[in-house]
């Protein structure tokens, strides 16, 4: 089975990207990272560079609109012949141009048990709501924010003395395995089609 070609988009730290890359290197995940793109000159791109992966900072300020910016991303992902687009800490809302270019082929990871706590600061939202468990969700990206069909979820406890930071860290540990599991599941599904 040919490895699934991933196009990874992120905006910052890139720990999910690095976890995926590690699972590929350890042969836990039959995929290859075809390109890494960021809307910020991020740590993620530095890591991608160190790993010898094709990477690029695409500056949104160079484009007249969100749609023109998304077209630029799409053209790079298509040129890299990606099978699956993986949003990993990508903090921008993607336009329909982007979504329609890869129908049901864009994944996102979100640090809550969706459909709870969509949008920004989901870990703080969980603390404010007083829930006893939260977690992370890998889901397909649709035009409605954080609302597409869920692929996999993993829960973690919320502890009485948690802060946004401590809860985020507990969830992030689970994100680092969940995302690769979800990609693996999808790779198998795509292969059997
Ligand atoms: C992760 O916790 C991810 O779930 C979250 O941003 C963090 C990125 O970390 N994504 C969102 O909140 C998207 N709505 P990373 O850059 O270290 O992977």
Q: Is residue 107 lining ligand 1, measured as CB closer than 6 Å?
A: no
Interatomic CA distance for residues 50 and 3, integer angstroms = 22
Q: What fold does the segment set 4-192 form as a domain? A: Rossmann fold (3.40.50)
Report angle CA 32, 6, 189 to the nearest 5 degrees: 95
Q: Is residue 123 lining ligand 1, measured as CB closer than 6 Å?
A: no
Residue range 151-180, pLDDT digits in tens: 999 999 999 999 999 999 999 999 999 999
Distance 109 CA to ligand 1 centre (A): 7
Q: Mind telling me the catalytic residues? A: 110
pLDDT of residue 191 exceeding 90:
no
Residue-level pLDDT at 66? 95
Residue range 59-116, pLDDT digits in tens: 999 999 999 999 999 999 999 999 999 999 999 999 999 999 999 999 999 999 999 9
Residue-level pLDDT at 55? 98
Residue range 35-47, pLDDT digits in tens: 999 999 999 999 9
Q: What is the DSSP string of 52-82?
A: T--EEE--GGGSSSHHHHHHHHHHHHHHTT-
The pLDDT mean for the chain works out to 97
pLDDT of residue 193 exceeding 90:
no
């Amino acid at each position: 089975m040919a490895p699934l070609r991933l196009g990874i988009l992120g905006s910052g730290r890139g720990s999910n990207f690095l976890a995926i890359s590690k699972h590929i290197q350890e042969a836990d995940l039959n995929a290859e990272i075809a390109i890494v793109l960021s809307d910020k000159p991020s740590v993620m791109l530095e890591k991608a560079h160190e790993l010898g992966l094709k990477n690029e900072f695409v500056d949104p300020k160079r484009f007249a609109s969100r749609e023109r910016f998304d077209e630029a991303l799409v053209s790079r992902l298509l040129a890299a012949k990606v099978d699956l687009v993986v949003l990993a800490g990508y903090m921008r809302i993607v336009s329909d141009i982007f979504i329609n270019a890869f129908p049901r082929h864009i994944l996102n990871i979100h640090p809550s048990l969706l459909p709870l706590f969509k949008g920004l600061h989901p870990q703080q939202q969980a603390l404010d709501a007083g829930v006893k468990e939260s977690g992370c969700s890998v889901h397909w990206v649709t035009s409605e924010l954080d609302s597409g069909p869920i692929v996999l979820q993993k829960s973690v406890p919320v502890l009485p003395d948690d802060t946004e930071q401590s809860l985020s860290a507990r969830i992030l540990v689970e994100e680092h395995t969940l995302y690769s599991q979800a990609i693996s599941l999808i790779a198998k599904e795509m292969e059997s089609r």
